[in-house]
Amino acid sequence: MYKHVIVKTPGRSYINGLTTSDLGTPNYAKALEQHAAYVEALKKCGVEVTHLPADEEFPDSTFVEDTAIIASEFAVITNPGDVARNKEIVAMEPTLKEFYETVHHINTPGTLDGGDVLQVDDHFYIGISDRTNEEGAQQLKRIVESEGYKGTIVPLKEFFHLKTGIAYLGDDLIVAAGEFIDHPDFARYKKITVSAEDEYSANCILVNDYVIIPSGYEQTKRKLNEAGYETIELEMSEFQKQDGGLSCLSLRF
């Protein structure tokens, strides 16, 4: 059960952040409304929310997931792969130290975005992407193994981040899209598969008694409900424009 969540309000500079999408420029007022709804959904899930203020210097800093990897006993400060985001970790570290005595770091030349890391119980899957390199992935693998966890490195072929196309819902059940549906590293898990047209909904998050999903993906919602999960749907259009999903907007522990 999660007890704590860290989120960060998008700043006005958010509309000028990094993106690979062609969905247009975010509407800032709408982004604020969607972020506020996200925070309320988290509260409904029964967690205590640490809400950090906007940081105009870093347009993408609302995507706090990329700055850290969180386990029950330790945290890892990442080393984001895009130079424009790298110093977001400076503001995040003191916040994490309020909760954790043990804080590890990913060091240059290693790069690592938190969106490339999926924890499945005692196993961390670490994606190699445009933002996470081999050295960063190997550093994290060594860290988690030193803490008694397992680590597997997964080179990506299609997705921007690992968690763009996969989520873990507990009880050996994953939500998988694209390259992860038949990926050998995830063959042992039960799967809820997501079609190509609904791919964005693969980035969903289990927070205690609820699965939070982006709105507008009825097939994914139906499959989750049939599997016994209660869902909360949220509008995510303004974050999708900047390559962001539900997991990107919080650190959950």
Q: Point out the residues that are catalytic.
A: 161, 248
141 in Cβ contact with 128 (< 8 Å)? no
50 in Cβ contact with 6 (< 8 Å)? yes
Q: Please tell me the chain's helix, strand, coil percentages from 3-state DSSP, rounded to the nearest 5.
A: 35, 25, 40
Residue 26: asked if its preceding bond is cis (omega within 30°), the reply is no
146 in Cβ contact with 124 (< 8 Å)? no
202 in Cβ contact with 164 (< 8 Å)? yes
147 in Cβ contact with 110 (< 8 Å)? no
Strands (E), 117-201: 117-120, 123-128, 150-155, 166-168, 173-177, 190-194
Count CA atoms closer than 13 A to 53's CA, side-chain side: 3
Pairing of strands 150-155, 123-128: parallel
160 in Cβ contact with 243 (< 8 Å)? yes
